[in-house]
Structure 1
Amino acid sequence: MHSDTAPAARSGAAGAAPEGPDPDGPAAPAPTWDPQQYLRHAGHRARPFLDLLARIPELPAAPARIADLGCGPGNVTALLSERWPDARVSGYDLSPEMLRRAEAEYAGPTPGGGSLDFRHGDLAGWTPGETYDLIVSNAALQWVPGHAGSFARWIDGLRPGGTFAFQIPGNFTAPSHRLLAELCDTARWRERLGGHGARYVHILDPGEYLDRLTGLGCAADVWETTYHQLLQGPDPVLDWVKGTALRPVLTALGDDRAAVEDFLAEYREVLREAYPAGPCGTVFPFRRVFAVARKEARAC
């Protein structure tokens, strides 16, 4: 999944089908992911995962057993094998497109004696089928409404002293997302796209994540960072969200190329005003929330 909203490079794609525009109606179809588009900003998308990885403590067993929830195209999953060369690492994702890319690029034995494999998995219902030393998720849980309710069973699947760690976008009130939601709710687009731009009310504040994790008996470290990313090229913010937040919209519009072009033209104009290009590129602030929770350590 890793979607930055995310997917990257994960960094990611979606590990669960997004919430439908009408919670009382049928769920929207899972978005179709484009690994190549997602990886166009691979460096920026991978940086939060590297910052998360640096804070993960020593794992309780060697070789370690690791799960990456929402592995996307597998580029950051491979970083886990670099950190723990003899580990058995499995990446889980809902997107067939992302899994095909990950398997083609990264699956198989690793130079350190470990292995890397990729499996279909919907994070909304994923339950550990074995004991893990590390369960990690990079830019994926924003696609899983009520994801904090899964923390208990994921932590139950850890070995004592094991770690659950994730980073999640926290930019859903930023202009990129606010303008997308407003455009989807205009008279022209409401019938087809109403609700597609406003899915992320289930993202918790850092303090709420801390309370949840310590309440489950973990020693938890939770923090947030805003990366002021300098993007290059024409309309780079539009290009960024084409790989993540726009995927449900583009999926909903399907093969109606005229509608796609019209929607992108309207969205492009408001993004240009919100994120003006400067002499060295376009500044795109991006807030992320991080958590590292170690099982069965003193919480306080």
Structure 2
Amino acid sequence: MADWSPTRYLQFTDERSRSFRDLIAHVAELPAFRDTAPSDVVDLGCGPGHLSGVLRSRWPEAAVTGVDSSPAMIARAREHDPGATYLEGDIGDYAAGRLEVTGADAVVSNAALQWVPEHRKLLPALRDTARRVFAFQVPGNHDAPSHLLLREVAAREPYASALGAPVARRATEDPLGYLDLLAGPGWTLDAWETTYTHLLQGPDPVLRWISATGAQPTLHALHDVDPALRERFEEEYGAALREAYPDRPYGTPLAFRRVFVVASRDPGAVADGR
């Protein structure tokens, strides 16, 4: 897939950032950090670095390291946020200890793990890199109209032949599924889900939203075959989205379900340095 576009991704910064703010607010109130702030934080899938300020506002003294596999995202983060350290690398490589950073008091991730192949298998290793807390959020909207329509339109001709394979459903677990995957001695777990209703503004806002994230691999693949084919697809897909997400006088509502998971080491395990 072609590289990500920080500019397109940041079109809906406030809406995309809300779940991360909610996650970090929850983490900051955990017993692990209520009295002693983390000395370092690793942000997996940090994107363009726009959320590092959220971490620093909570823990001003903590060293923040962002990890992302996108060269464009890392370049933008380094340019606009020199106060943090940014590493270009894969989350799987981080889990295997192949990056410069191997752990932190807090290891967090916002809407990134769903892009990692077989991310479920990596979760115990990712959890164990956290000295005190491992926390993440992933979208749980892969059966929402936006994604159902993406797969439906992409399955039509001429798009199906150009793509060569059906659009993958990037499934994530429900809260209970993640609890089953992360449960282990010395850990306390919490998991929940929230459906946000974002009010998007401007023309074709749902198309613009998903074109910067979930639809990007499909759009890039079609563009590589024929830019005109991508344009035709966007017109057809955009029309379907306008019907599924009708505009209202106050904006276009987009319901977006997200799943949150927090694993914190039990006090005895932290004291023992495990």
TM-score, length basis structure 1? 0.81
Counterpart pick for 1:279 among 243, 246, 249:
249
1:136 is matched with which residue: 108, 133, 140?
108
Equivalent in the alignment of 1:155: 127
Aligned equivalents of 2:267, 2:169: Cα separation in 1: 34
- Give the superposition deviation at 1:31: 3.8
- Structure 2 counterpart of 1:27: none
Contact 1:94 1:120 in 2 (8 A): yes
Hey, what's the Cα distance between the residues in 1 that align with 2:242 and 2:164? 23
Find the partner of 1:174 among 144, 147, 151: 144
8 Å CA contact retained: 1:32, 1:247: no
**SS in structure 1 at match of 2:3:** coil
1:37 has 2:5 as partner: no
- Mapped to 2, the partners of 1:196 and 1:217 lie a distance apart of 42
Corresponding residue number in structure 1 for 2:205 = 236
1:245 aligns with 2:194: no
Change (3 A) 1:227 1:217: same
Kept in 2: contact 1:38–1:244 (CA 8 A) = yes
Distance in 2 between the 1:292 and 1:230 partners? 28
Aligned 8 A contact 1:68 1:137 in 2: yes
How far 1:198 moved relative to its partner?
2.5
**Secondary structure in 1 matching 2:4:** coil
Number of matched residues? 260
Q: Please report the TM-score for the alignment, with normalisation by the length of structure 2.
A: 0.89
Unaligned stretches of 5+ residues in structure 2: 269-274
Deviation at residue 107 of structure 1 after TM alignment: 1.9
SS in 1 for 2:261: strand
Q: Which runs of 5+ in 1 are unaligned?
A: 1-29, 109-115
In the alignment, the residues of structure 2 paired with residue 155 and residue 82 of structure 1 have an alpha-carbon distance, to the nearest angstrom, of 24
Give secondary structure in 2 for the equivalent of 1:145: coil
Task: Map 1:18-97; keep pairs closer than 5 Å.
Answer: 30-56=1-27, 57=30, 58-59=32-33, 64-97=39-72
Tell me, in whole angstroms, the C-alpha distance in 2 between the residues paired with 1:216 and 1:264: 49
Q: CA deviation at 1:199?
A: 3.1
Distance 1:92 1:33 in 2: 14
Question: Is this contact kept in 2: 1:89–1:117, CA < 8 A?
Answer: yes
Using the TM superposition, give the Cα deviation of residue 66 of structure 1 relative to its aligned residue in structure 2, in angstroms. Answer: 1.1
Q: Note closer, same or farther for the CA distance 1:81–1:196 as it changes in structure 2 (3 Å cut).
A: farther
Q: What SS does the corresponding residue of 1:125 show, helix, strand or coil?
A: helix
SS at match of 2:136: strand
Aligned position for 1:290? 260
Name the structure with the higher helix share.
2
Report Cα offsets for 1:126-177 as digits up to 9, x if no partner. Answer: 2345441010000101101221211222222222xx0000000000000000
**What percent of counterpart residues are identical?**
46
Q: Does 1:186 align with 2:161?
A: no
Instruction: Give, in whole Å, the separation in 2 of the partners of 1:63 and 1:225.
Output: 26
- State the secondary structure of the residue aligned to 2:183: helix
Query: What is the letter of the counterpart of residue 64 of structure 1?
Result: S
Bigger mean CA deviation after superposition, 276-285 or 213-222: 213-222
Kept in 2, the 8 Å contact 1:61–1:133? The answer is no
Match for 1:188: what amino acid?
P
The secondary structure found in structure 2 opposite 1:280 is coil
